[in-house]
Amino acid sequence: MDVSAIIERQRALVRGGTTRSRESRVDRLRRLSRALEARESELLEALHADLRKPPHEAYVSEIGFVQSEIRHAIRHLPSWMKRRRRRVPLLAWPGSAFVQPEPYGVGLILGPWNYPAQLLLSPLVGALAAGNCAVLKPSELAPHTAEAVSRLVASTFSPEEVVVVTGGSDVAEELLRHRFDVIFFTGSTRVGRLVMAAAARHGTPVTLELGGKSPCLVCADAPLETTARRIAWGKFLNAGQTCVAPDYVLVDRRVSEGLVEALKRAVRAFYGEDPQQSPDYGRIVNQRHLQRLAALLKDGRIVHGGQVDLEDLYLAPTLIMQARWDTPIMQEEIFGPILPVVEFDRLEEALTLVRERPTPLALYLFTRDAAVQQTVLEQTRSGGVCINDTISQIVARELPFGGLGESGLGAYHGRASFDCFSHRRAVMRRAFWMDSRLRYPPPRISLRSLRKAARFLLGG
């Protein structure tokens, strides 16, 4: 595939104005929606083949998620596309000003393997809504889904609109040598740095959706059964391979034993006594990742789970206690179904532990106390926060989703997706009929008088 030629044809399509009209944008979004509906079974089978995703989980977290993004974008596109008027200072009067969102042009979207359909196609919704064309690179670690998405896109769009390029890391490196108008990457912090460096060579805007160790704080007043169910659901969804999964739990020592027992009950209720036999529990993506996870099990005392089957790519939902902060399990993002539980005596102690670590993508807090909630919001940093639940912050279309620092750069979902693929072009328009000589040299008033007049002339 001649990538340079494809990029130029896509860029020509955008320059020609074909993708800019609301009708064109809606048409392409609807085509994507119809393709997802028509190929739903094929995608579900591919997701099961790659990650053993149960059909209900795969539909909600992958296909249904993207369909929801499409419906939201179509509904709100007229208001998103509107020019936004801005005030004009007296110095530029008579005149008018506005901000006009325009497509960047050709976007490169690099997807990960853990949600290989959603995290490739959800950014595409934003790119199409904003009037762009796109080159998609799915992860080679989810090959069945990569091929299914490739067939879906090829049957829905012309290569000048959207094209999928498959292959390994060498293909991604080759793509990054080309000049795109915007780049969207989801993946590890390590690779995110490489993507950012590649984008910098061309001065290309970039959005990075990374990860990190998302902490989960549980205070003594939290109802333990509900708290445990919500933590277990968020942690063991997709076998823990979720960028916003709770990475570790910080729990008030007074209720730690009760929380651990409630977590065990929740796991048994979800997946039975033997989760390996459950049709509702997924698998690790490959043996290399499973071996990495298995090595982490030695970093604490296993109080539940811990079973590993390398051939079946299975790691049981696992709870670990007494993990030290200097061990790999507490230093690296786990990205698997292992949940360390760490006790604290005072909330200030827990907040210090969170602040000492790189900024996480998500922070979870379980407490009824509004004052504690406000304290945690004021004294921590994270990409997003979810209070008294897990994961649900990413399904609210009106909330931007993104990281901070090592957990990412930029945000998307809903309006934020449109914005991340749009250049907000500032436009000033002036009339000819008035042209004060005060602005031109030589000065006609003293500097003292100018200082007094500046607040009126320049505004602010």
| 248 and 99 in a common domain | no
pLDDT value of position 416? 97
Q: How many CB atoms lie within 10 A of CB 427?
A: 11
Give domain status of residue 197, yes or no.
yes
pLDDT value of position 453? 85
Give domain status of residue 435, yes or no.
no
Q: Give the domain extent around 247.
A: 215-399
Q: Domain of 151: which CATH number? A: 3.40.605.10
Give domain status of residue 343, yes or no.
yes
Give domain status of residue 456, yes or no.
no
pLDDT value of position 438? 80
pLDDT value of position 123? 98
Catalytic residue IDs: 209, 243
Closest by CA to 301, choosing from 321, 319, 331, 317, is 321
> In this structure, are residues 47 and 282 in contact, taking their beta carbons and an 8 Å threshold?
no
| 385 and 351 in a common domain | yes
Say what angle helices 118-129 and 64-81 make with each other, to 10 degrees. 20
Give domain status of residue 239, yes or no.
yes
> In this structure, are residues 248 and 330 in contact, taking their beta carbons and an 8 Å threshold?
yes
What are the helix (H) ranges across 177-304? Answer: 189-202, 224-236, 256-271, 287-296
| 260 and 291 in a common domain | yes
Give domain status of residue 449, yes or no.
no
pLDDT value of position 459? 79
| 247 and 184 in a common domain | no
pLDDT value of position 127? 98
Count Cβ neighbours within 10 Å for each residue of 144-164 and write b for 16 or more, e otherwise: bbbebbbbbbeebbebbbbbb
pTM: 0.95
Q: For the chain, what is the domain count?
A: 2
Cα→Cα distances 235→47, 49, 188, 232, 312, Å = 19, 21, 18, 5, 20
Q: Domain of 333: which CATH number? A: 3.40.309.10
pLDDT value of position 417? 98
| 56 and 182 in a common domain | yes
pLDDT < 70: residue spans in the chain: 460
pLDDT value of position 405? 93
Distance CA 361, CA 243 (A): 8
Give domain status of residue 458, yes or no.
no
Distance CA 50, CA 47 (A): 5
Amino acid letter, 143: P
Closest by CA to 319, choosing from 243, 277, 262, is 262
Give domain status of residue 438, yes or no.
no
| 226 and 193 in a common domain | no
pLDDT value of position 329? 97
| 335 and 198 in a common domain | no
> In this structure, are residues 414 and 69 in contact, taking their beta carbons and an 8 Å threshold?
yes
> In this structure, are residues 213 and 360 in contact, taking their beta carbons and an 8 Å threshold?
yes
Write out the two tokens for 99.
């901000």
pLDDT tens sequence across 20-71: 999 999 999 999 999 999 999 999 999 999 999 999 999 999 999 999 999 9
